[in-house]
């Protein structure tokens, strides 16, 4: 496929991937030693989920597990490196196995997963009013979906209740088993897809997997680039440390790295280009330096192309900006769909070979069974079979596209889009109460917040397994067991926290509660006929977005001088890219300058510095999280925006 970096000529050859040694001659690594590492990872993963849930909900700490290179994974790895300073028998493979296990499961407890799911379950009762008439939905909610009873409801939303009261915990047993099984099927399907697509991405397209480079470098024997790594970490710690001090003592000067709205300074004639953010995330600069420069420049070019679309529409007298021209939501839907189909089509030969392979047969069977469970679950919620098939089929398709983006671009946040838009638009899904309830109860994972979804992370762990010499079966076993335990731990912790402190009180984070009720707000608006309707201009915008991606793809494939990559147009449609374009431009400019002046040799020597920027960002964020927990007071958040 020509959307891979390998077709980018010069830019590919200068993007080295850290390739660890196949064996560690100094440290014996027998099965029993990795068996202990597996046990440690399996135990640590659910404990990390509990800590992260409490920190994000009660302390409103940084989004610890909602970014691609998760904080808990890096912190665990740093902890093991400290232990190895005193206990030399801790092997590299053991450290990478524990890291991969935690990284692959920590997303279960956070946004887009359990944090949104748990507040969705009881939302139609808590937020029912005479105006929204949510009470009309109650009789259409299956008994296994949500518990009933005033005591159950009051304790969850207001707190100061005992989860372990038999009347409460017994009411939750069946819903938790149902949703826990759903989560397990959702994760199993994604792991199978990651396994089936990984050979294509890794060996044929030679994607660089930027997210895994830090753990690989930190565990590399011999301390490769140690001085440059420490220098980069120092720069990030100083920058973020000054911002943290400025948060407490405003008189202390600081360079703001978080997004700042710059569009307010534009003249009124260019108001349609707002919002326009500038940001200087050290970790984004560091990760972007590992990405081929043509991809980076393509992302920045397409970002400004979309801004110019807004400006052009405004100058032409169209209703530009917001939900108006160029209809960014619909244009983005088309772009994401086209790109995901291109990724799927490009892997057709690899998938065909996999389909007849004895080694992959189990993964195909597991994927089929998991999808059958998911589709059946959707039908049981009230969806028509075709709606359920479209919803879950498109979700998996978009996860494949997101997995490619993560493996090639190393995005800090997984790109996402509203999967439910397609069945609502093309099948009229949610126009009746029973089906609308089903759509509302599946919104929490499909509406576009894909930050914690697992397929991209699973592909990263496969690269770690391959590069670190870890047996894939051992890693699969560790992740599978840890996932089951993490689902149980996350669901239990969510209920325990909310029955103690209350989901609707000031002690908990409001954003999770808002997302829980939003699906039912959409349903009410649809039934009342006030929801935005898709018209001809929206279909044209969707086709335009898809056509632009196809045009970039064909040009990238057939025109030798064409400099722009189709993934740039896809990422430019995503709102969070407003915060990322400038760090990407900084990284691309710095990388280009190094390659032109010092060549590949200089770039390889500088790569530890860029990874140091990432490391320093994570170290200071960890210290601030601990201070926030210890002092029980708000602290500076390095992620995502404030």
The answer, yes or no, to whether the previous bond of 135 is cis (omega within 30 of 0) is no
Rounded (5°) CA angle 194-621-61: 85
3-state secondary structure of 278: strand
How far is residue 26's CA from residue 31's CA, in Å, rounded to a whole number? 16
Model confidence at 463: pLDDT above 60: yes
Compute the average pLDDT of residues 97-113. Answer: 95
Q: Which helix (H) or strand (E) holds 260?
A: strand 260-261
Residue 277's DSSP bridge partners are 261
The answer, yes or no, to whether the previous bond of 326 is cis (omega within 30 of 0) is yes
Residue-wise pLDDT for 608-617, tens only, equals 999 999 999 9
Tokens of 409: 């671009």
- How many CB atoms within 10 Å of residue 90? 19
How far is residue 228's CA from residue 603's CA, in Å, rounded to a whole number? 12
pLDDT given for residue 633 in this prediction: 79
Q: Where is average pLDDT lowest: 61-75, 362-376, 493-507?
A: 61-75
Q: Please, which pLDDT band fits residue 64 given cuts at 50, 70 and 90?
A: confident
Model confidence at 149: pLDDT above 80: yes
3-state secondary structure of 167: helix
Residue-wise pLDDT for 25-43, tens only, equals 343 444 446 788 999 999 9
Compute the average pLDDT of residues 467-493. Answer: 95
Compute the average pLDDT of residues 404-420. Answer: 91
pLDDT given for residue 343 in this prediction: 97
How far is residue 29's CA from residue 90's CA, in Å, rounded to a whole number? 9
pLDDT given for residue 1 in this prediction: 52
CA end-to-end span of the chain, whole Å? 39
pLDDT given for residue 6 in this prediction: 38
- How many CB atoms within 10 Å of residue 562? 15
Could you tell me which residue, 223 or 216, shows the higher pLDDT? 216
3-state secondary structure of 188: helix
Give the DSSP per-residue string, 469-522. Answer: T--HHHHHHHHHHHHHHHHHHHHHHHHHHHHHH-TTSTTS-HHHHHHHHHHHHH
Compute the average pLDDT of residues 227-256. Answer: 92
pLDDT given for residue 394 in this prediction: 98
CA 260 vs CA 126, 274, 280: distances in Å: 36, 12, 10
Tokens of 174: 């069946």
Residue-wise pLDDT for 515-553, tens only, equals 999 999 999 999 999 988 888 999 999 999 999 999 999
Model confidence at 251: pLDDT above 70: yes
pLDDT given for residue 31 in this prediction: 46
**Which of the 8 DSSP states describes residue 200?**
I
Model confidence at 15: pLDDT above 60: no
pLDDT given for residue 26 in this prediction: 40
Question: Residues 180, 50, 480, 398: is their CA dihedral positive or negative?
Answer: positive
Q: Please, which pLDDT band fits residue 223 given cuts at 50, 70 and 90?
A: low
Could you tell me which residue, 321 or 86, shows the higher pLDDT? 86
The gap from C-alpha 607 to its chain's centroid, in whole angstroms, comes to 24
**Residue found by looking up tokens 């990407």 in the block:** 584
Contacts for 511-515: CB closer than 8 Å, 24+ residues apart: 511/111, 512/57, 512/111, 512/115, 512/116, 512/118, 512/119, 513/119, 513/123, 515/111, 515/116, 515/119, 515/120, 515/444, 515/447, 515/449
How far is residue 180's CA from residue 489's CA, in Å, rounded to a whole number? 11
**Which of the 8 DSSP states describes residue 82?**
H
Residue-wise pLDDT for 304-346, tens only, equals 999 998 888 888 777 655 567 788 889 999 999 999 999 999 9
Percent of the chain topping pLDDT 90: 71
How far is residue 313's CA from residue 320's CA, in Å, rounded to a whole number? 5
277 φ, ψ (degrees, to nearest 5): -100, 150
- How many CB atoms within 10 Å of residue 88? 10
- Closest alpha carbon to 215 in 69, 1, 433, 112: 69
Compute the average pLDDT of residues 251-265. Answer: 89
Is the CB of residue 612 less than 8 Å from the CB of residue 236?
Answer: yes
Residue 325's DSSP bridge partners are 320
Q: Is 337 left (phi over 0), alpha (psi -120 to 50) or beta?
A: alpha
Model confidence at 70: pLDDT above 80: yes
Give the DSSP per-residue string, 309-375. Answer: HHHHHHHTT--BSTTSBT-HHHHHHHHHHHHHHHHHHHTHHHHHHHHT-TTTHHHHHHHHHHHHHHH
Compute the average pLDDT of residues 563-585. Answer: 92
Q: pTM of this prediction?
A: 0.92
Model confidence at 24: pLDDT above 70: no
Tokens of 310: 């807004």
- Closest alpha carbon to 414 in 211, 192, 641, 120: 211
Q: Which helix (H) or strand (E) holds 543?
A: helix 536-558
Q: Where is average pLDDT lowest: 49-58, 162-171, 319-328, 508-517?
A: 319-328
Compute the average pLDDT of residues 70-84. Answer: 91
Q: What is the average pLDDT score of the chain?
A: 90
pLDDT given for residue 269 in this prediction: 80
How far is residue 498's CA from residue 504's CA, in Å, rounded to a whole number? 9
Residue-wise pLDDT for 204-215, tens only, equals 999 999 999 999
Out of 3-12, 123-132, 616-625, give the one with best mean pLDDT: 123-132
């Amino acid at each position: 496929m020509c959307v891979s970096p390998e077709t980018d000529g010069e830019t590919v050859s200068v993007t080295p991937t850290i390739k660890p040694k196949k064996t560690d001659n100094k440290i014996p690594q027998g099965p029993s030693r990795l068996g202990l590492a597996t046990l440690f990872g399996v135990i640590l993963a659910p404990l990390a989920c509990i800590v992260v849930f409490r920190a994000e909900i009660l302390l409103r700490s940084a989004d610890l597990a909602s970014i691609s290179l998760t904080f808990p994974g890096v912190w665990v790895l740093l902890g093991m490196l400290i232990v190895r300073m005193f206990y030399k028998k801790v092997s590299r493979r053991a450290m990478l196995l524990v890291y991969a296990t935690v990284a692959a499961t920590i997303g279960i407890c956070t946004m887009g997963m359990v944090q949104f799911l748990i507040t969705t379950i009881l939302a139609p009762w808590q937020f029912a009013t005479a105006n929204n008439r949510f009470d009309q939905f109650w009789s259409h909610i299956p008994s296994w979906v949500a518990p009933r009873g005033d005591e159950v409801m009051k304790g969850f939303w207001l707190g100061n209740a005992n989860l372990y009261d038999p009347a409460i915990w017994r009411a939750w047993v069946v819903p938790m088993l149902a949703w826990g099984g759903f989560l397990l099927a959702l994760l199993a399907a994604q792991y199978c897809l990651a396994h089936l697509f990984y050979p294509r991405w890794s060996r044929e397209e030679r994607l660089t997997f930027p997210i895994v480079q830090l753990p690989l470098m930190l565990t590399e024997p011999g301390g490769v680039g140690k001085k440059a790594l420490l220098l980069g970490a120092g720069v990030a710690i100083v920058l973020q440390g000054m911002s943290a001090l400025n948060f407490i003592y405003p008189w202390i000067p600081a360079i703001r790295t978080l997004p700042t709205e710059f569009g307010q300074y534009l003249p009124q004639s260019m108001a349609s280009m707002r919002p326009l953010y500038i940001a200087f995330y050290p970790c984004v600069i560091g990760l972007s330096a590992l990405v081929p420069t043509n991809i980076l420049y393509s992302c920045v070019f397409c970002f400004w192309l979309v801004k110019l679309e807004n400006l052009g529409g405004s100058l032409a007298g169209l209703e530009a900006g917001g939900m108006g021209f160029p209809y960014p939501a619909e244009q983005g839907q088309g772009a994401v769909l086209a790109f995901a189909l291109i990724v799927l089509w490009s892997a057709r030969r690899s998938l065909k070979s996999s389909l007849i392979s004895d080694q992959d047969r189990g993964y195909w069977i597991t994927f089929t069974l998991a999808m059958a469970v998911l589709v059946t679950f959707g039908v049981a919620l009230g969806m028509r079979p075709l709606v359920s098939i479209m919803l879950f089929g498109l979700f998996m398709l978009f996860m494949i596209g997101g997995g490619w983006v993560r493996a090639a671009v190393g995005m800090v946040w997984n790109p996402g889009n509203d999967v439910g838009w397609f069945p609502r638009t093309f099948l009229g899904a949610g126009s009746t109460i029973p089906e609308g309830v089903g759509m509302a109860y599946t919104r929490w994972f499909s509406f576009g917040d894909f930050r914690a979804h697992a397929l991209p992370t699973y592909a990263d762990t496969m690269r770690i397994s391959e590069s670190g010499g870890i047996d894939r079966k051992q890693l699969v076993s560790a992740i599978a067991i840890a996932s089951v335990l993490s689902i149980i731990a996350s669901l239990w912790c969510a209920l325990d926290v909310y029955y103690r402190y209350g989901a609707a009180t000031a002690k908990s984070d409001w954003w999770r509660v808002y997302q829980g009720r939003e699906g039912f707000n959409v349903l009410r608006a649809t039934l009342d006929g006030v929801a935005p309707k898709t018209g001809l201009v929206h279909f044209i915008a969707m086709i335009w977005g898809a056509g632009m991606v196809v045009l970039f793809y064909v040009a990238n494939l057939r025109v030798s001088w064409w400099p722009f990559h189709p993934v740039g147009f896809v990422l430019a449609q995503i709102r969070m890219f407003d915060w990322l374009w400038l760090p990407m431009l900084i990284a691309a400019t710095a990388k280009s300058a190094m390659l032109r002046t010092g060549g590949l040799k200089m770039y390889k020597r500088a790569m530890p510095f860029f990874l140091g920027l990432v490391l320093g960002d994570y170290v200071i964020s960890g210290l601030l999280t601990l201070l926030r927990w210890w002092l029980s007071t708000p602290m500076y958040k390095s992620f995502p925006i404030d």
